[in-house]
Amino acid sequence: MEVDRQRLRSLKGVKWSKYGPDVIPAWVADMDFPPSPRILSEIQKMVDLGDFGYRYHDVDLLIPAWCEWVEESHGWLPPADECRVFTSSMNALEAMMLLHTEPGDGVVLFSPIYMPFRAAVEQAGRTVVDVQLQGPDWKFEANSFKESLNSKARVVLFCQPHNPTGHIYTKEEINDFAEIAAEHDLIVISDEIWADLVFEGNKHLSLFPNHDKLRNRTVTIGSASKAFNLAGARCCVAHVGSASTRSHLEKYPDHYFGLPSSFGSAATVAAWKHGKSWLQDAKKQIQHNRDYIYSRILQDPSGLTMHLPESTYLGWLDFSNTSLSNQPSKELLYKAQIALEPGDKFGEQCGSFARLNFATGIDIVEELLERMLNALNR
């Protein structure tokens, strides 16, 4: 897939506009590929008609479209009458957390963790129960989970696949997690917005259908935002497997926790109904980029390492054995004119890490990597 740098710099998106024209941005989790033509066509129809009023039709199509997509792509069918729509995955997460906790209650996060999740917990007056994952594989460890839990824990956020490491939890890991979550009667919020960006040789496993003890306690969050480059569309669907959560939700009107816009709904429905071919092309490019980066890093003498992601388009880079082990993203912005996401945003223990977004053209990946490795080997 081709990427036009001039076009990207002309856009108003944060990725390419935050830094100067000499900086290659690889920080925020946006693709550089234009969205599927079918998505653009659906939005253009609304613009051409001047159709900016209430369009409940698109919202009504969201849940059936997602259920069909999940069944075709991941092998299980979420019951449509147990699903709800939200403005975004963050909106859904916050709603579930507030429904099941009171100020001071604990919300379990697995660190390193997507930084807005931690902020959402803390800003709501809840307590972060931090379970630290360990490299180089970043797998779920049952003992670490057990030892971190306390009597305040009510909810656990599980990112499957995981951001920033790209790890996909296995059936065995899910089994261990399920037993402990059930033992402590935790509500599980399963953030699965990266589920459609899984590399060859790997398989995404949703939590809800893969363990009986998770079925009545899990909320599964899905979105087209990452796989189809629609983060700005603000649209999310959640399967609420937890009967207690559905009971809580029924006490509030549909709009109380936020609804997607007509444009976001139309774009998302088009993605799930007509975007499969575009997604396959995007994944081929992203996997090619991943393999190129991993191979170059393996051969480089700088000491840099990268966990090979099984999903996402994010490289979790470990600079701890390099010449730039302290705040590497800050150093590389100055020395190499590349913008990576700082590792310490994902956890205090991650100061020697940085996250690299490789959902772009191979020419940009090659230039970025050349700049980074040259800076490390000076």
pLDDT by residue (tens digit) across 122-149?
Answer: 999 999 999 999 999 999 999 999 999 9
CA angle, residues 135, 94, 188, in degrees to nearest 5: 55
pLDDT digits (tens, 9 = 90+) for 101-110: 999 999 999 9
What's the per-residue H, E or C state across the chain? CCCCHHHHHHCCCHHHHCCCCCCEEECCCCCCCCCCHHHHHHHHHHHHHCCCCCCHHHHHHHHHHHHHHHHHHHCCCCCHHHEEEECCHHHHHHHHHHHHCCCCCEEEEEECCCHHHHHHHHHCCCEEEEEECECCCCECCHHHHHHHCCCCEEEEEEECCCCCCCCCCCHHHHHHHHHHHHHCCCEEEEECCCCCCECCCCCCCCCHHHCHHHCCCEEEEECCCCCCCCHHHCCEEEEECCHHHHHHHCCCCCCCCCCCCHHHHHHHHHHHHHCHHHHHHHHHHHHHHHHHHHHHHHHCCCCCEEECCCECCEEEEECCCCCCCCCHHHHHHHHCCEEEEEHHHCCHHHCCEEEEECCCCHHHHHHHHHHHHHHHCC
The residues, any chain, with a CB within 8 Å of residue 160's CB and separated by 6 or more, are: 168, 169, 190, 191, 192, 195, 204, 205, 206, 207
- Given pLDDT bands bounded at 50, 70 and 90, which one contains residue 57? low
- Whether the pLDDT of residue 377 is over 90: the answer is yes
Average pLDDT over residues 177-196: 97
pLDDT of residue 56: 67
Residue 343: count of CB within 10 angstroms of its CB: 25
- Given pLDDT bands bounded at 50, 70 and 90, which one contains residue 255? confident
pLDDT digits (tens, 9 = 90+) for 63-97: 999 999 999 999 999 999 999 999 999 999 999 99
d(CA 367, CA 292): 12
pLDDT of residue 112: 97
What's the pTM? Answer: 0.95
The CATH classification of domain 40-274, taken from the options 2.40.30.20, 3.90.1150.10, 3.40.50.300, 3.40.640.10: 3.40.640.10
- Whether the pLDDT of residue 54 is over 80: the answer is no
- Whether the pLDDT of residue 378 is over 80: the answer is yes
CATH code at 5-30+276-376: 3.90.1150.10
Asked if 5-30+276-376 and 40-274 have one fold, the answer is no
Q: Where are the domains of the chain?
A: 5-30+276-376, 40-274
pLDDT of residue 12: 84
CA angle, residues 133, 341, 95, in degrees to nearest 5: 65
- Whether the pLDDT of residue 60 is over 90: the answer is no
pLDDT of residue 82: 96
